[in-house]
């Protein structure tokens, strides 16, 4: 509106992933998606909100782009492209899961830019998703970010 351009990492601006959302002795995990962070207990899926897969956060996304929240190696990419696992420093095992019950969409509306075994760097675009398609399918678009082995870190903390 005023002629200001949103700064990006490519032009020297700060990355969304610069905002740490989790921390433990092995390192920090940044915010992988622009949006409102919601308490873990408010995620609309009892498997996630109950901590069965580890501790983490939910994010109500403002846009459909996911960035690597830490340096690491891609440990998994769901066949339906809605979830990516990354192993980082100190064997941190991170899961980024886009949407609730979006596996039922069979990949429609999801695109990944990484494969299992790829090295990723913090701030790298790793996935895009179509928020409108998720809503049209009657699914929640909440992005779940979990440290699946959070129990391995007694000093694990949500920020």
Per the residue annotation, which of 97, 139, 144, 153 is the catalytic one? 97
154: CB partners within 8 A, 6+ apart = none
65: CB partners within 8 A, 6+ apart = 33, 34, 125, 127, 128
Distance from C-alpha of 62 to C-alpha of 34, rounded to nearest angstrom = 6
Answer yes or no: are the C-beta atoms of 75 and 49 closer than 8 Å. no
Distance from C-alpha of 64 to C-alpha of 141, rounded to nearest angstrom = 9
Known catalytic residue: 82? no
53: CB partners within 8 A, 6+ apart = 47, 95, 146, 148
Three-class secondary structure of residue 48 per DSSP = helix
- Residues marked as catalytic: 97
């Amino acid at each position: 509106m005023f002629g200001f351009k949103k700064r990006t990492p490519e032009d020297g601006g700060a990355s969304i992933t610069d905002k740490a959302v989790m921390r433990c002795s092995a390192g920090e995990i940044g915010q992988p998606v622009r949006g409102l962070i919601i308490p873990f207990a408010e995620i609309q899926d009892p498997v996630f909100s109950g901590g069965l897969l580890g501790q983490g956060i939910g994010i109500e996304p403002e846009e459909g782009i996911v960035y690597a929240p830490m340096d690491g190696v891609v440990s998994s990419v769901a066949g339906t492209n809605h979830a990516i696992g990354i192993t980082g420093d100190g064997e941190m095992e991170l899961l980024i899961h886009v949407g609730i019950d979006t596996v039922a969409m069979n990949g429609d509306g999801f695109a990944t830019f990484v494969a299992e075994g790829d090295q990723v760097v913090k701030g790298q675009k790793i996935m895009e998703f179509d928020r409108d398609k998720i809503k049209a399918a009657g699914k929640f678009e909440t992005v779940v970010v979990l440290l699946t082995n959070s129990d391995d870190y007694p000093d694990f903390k949500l920020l």
